[in-house]
Amino acid sequence: MAAAGMTIDLPASLKAERDGAVAILTLARAEKRNALDDATILGIEKFFSSLPEGIGAVLLAGEGEHFSAGLDLSELKQRDVTEGIDHSRLWHRAFERIQFGKVPVVAVLHGAVVGGGLELAAACHVRVAERSAYYALPEGSRGIYVGGGGSVRLPRLIGLARMTDMMLTGRGYSAEEGQAMGLSTYLVEPSQGFAKGLELAAHIATNAPLTNFAVMQVLPRIAEIDPASGYAVEALMASIAQADDEAKVRLQAFLEKRGPKVTRP
């Protein structure tokens, strides 16, 4: 579908539109609870690989009552081992395009955020949850395993013990619990998620591109390396960012009382 302001051809399960500098990607398969089939995953990969010029952030949301029911179980059928690996690698590729793509991604979560849907949410940079959201990893009860990068991202997000518990016991978490454990960083009333997510994405799009690059591409790498190397990389990144014209313009604006002040939260 070629959407308003966006010329990316996507499967019917995805809708793309543009609101100024924010590209909005919507999971549009509510009749199947936004279950993620291969076409949708390929569409996600394509969308994040072909963002047009002028886009500074992406908002990801889901139509209907649920963000996503995860992997489309009807496609699981009887893959052999090699096909299974290829399938998981496809998800990895697509979700890497989100996490380490061109611009930050804000996800709006509501209803079921389960299995591969939770893995998709975990690949985004900012998560806004509506109070209806709930989280689970039902892979255990289906006799399968996470395959969309969940083993890598979720322990870093909520801790290894919580993910182990979710997978072994089928335990779910409410929106409030998810907020307390850092799964979401914004918790809003039902139907308020999209507006909040759009507001955040629009703000992110006004940041200096080099700052957004550093936060997306450098910060998570520093978090994975030893502290001594981390300090060295941080010093280099800080020096590169401050030498950029964009930083000079913004610092000058503040010093001339034109830049925004930090407001009390």
Q: Which residues are catalytic?
A: 119, 139
Which residues contact residue 240 at a Cβ distance below 8 angstroms, ignoring those fewer than 6 apart? 210
Q: What is the rounded CA–CA span in Å between residue 194 and residue 40?
A: 21
Measured from each CB, the residue nearest to ligand 1HE is 115
CB atoms within 10 A of CB 161: 9
Judged by CB under 6 A, does residue 35 bind ligand 1HE?
A: yes
Question: How buried is 58 (Cβ within 10 angstroms: 0-12 exposed, 13-18 middle, 19+ buried)?
Answer: buried
Binding piece for ligand 1HE, criterion CB under 6 A, among 77-85, 101-109, 143-151, 243-251: 143-151
Nearer to ligand 1HE, 139 or 212 (CB): 139
Nearer to ligand 1HE, 142 or 203 (CB): 142
Shortest distance, position 249 Cβ to ligand 1HE, whole Å: 44
Q: Site for ligand 1HE (CB under 6 A): how many residues?
A: 23
Binding piece for ligand 1HE, criterion CB under 6 A, among 53-61, 145-153, 191-199, 257-265: 145-153
Judged by CB under 6 A, does residue 45 bind ligand 1HE?
A: no
In whole angstroms, how large is the CA radius of gyration of the chain? 19
**Whether 57 contacts 202, CB under 8 Å:** yes
In the list 43, 62, 101, 116, the residue contacting ligand 1HE (rule: CB under 6 A) is: 116
Nearer to ligand 1HE, 148 or 193 (CB): 148
In the list 115, 178, 193, 197, the residue contacting ligand 1HE (rule: CB under 6 A) is: 115
Nearer to ligand 1HE, 43 or 116 (CB): 116
Judged by CB under 6 A, does residue 91 bind ligand 1HE?
A: yes
Judged by CB under 6 A, does residue 166 bind ligand 1HE?
A: no
Q: Dump strand ranges (E) for the chain.
A: 14-19, 22-27, 57-62, 105-109, 112-114, 126-130, 134-136, 173-174, 186-188
Judged by CB under 6 A, does residue 142 bind ligand 1HE?
A: yes
**Whether 127 contacts 136, CB under 8 Å:** no
Shortest distance, position 7 Cβ to ligand 1HE, whole Å: 29
Q: What is the rounded CA–CA span in Å between residue 193 and residue 186?
A: 9
Q: Which of 248, 216, 262 is nearest to 101 (CA)?
A: 216
Q: What is the rounded CA–CA span in Å between residue 8 and residue 234?
A: 36
Q: What is the rounded CA–CA span in Å between residue 94 and residue 100?
A: 10
**Whether 174 contacts 164, CB under 8 Å:** no
Shortest distance, position 37 Cβ to ligand 1HE, whole Å: 8
Contact letters (x/-) for ligand 1HE, 48-87, by CB under 6 A? -----------------xx--xxxxxx-------------
Question: Binding residues for ligand 1HE, per CB under 6 A?
Answer: 32-33, 35, 65-66, 69-74, 91, 112, 114-116, 138-139, 142, 144, 146-148
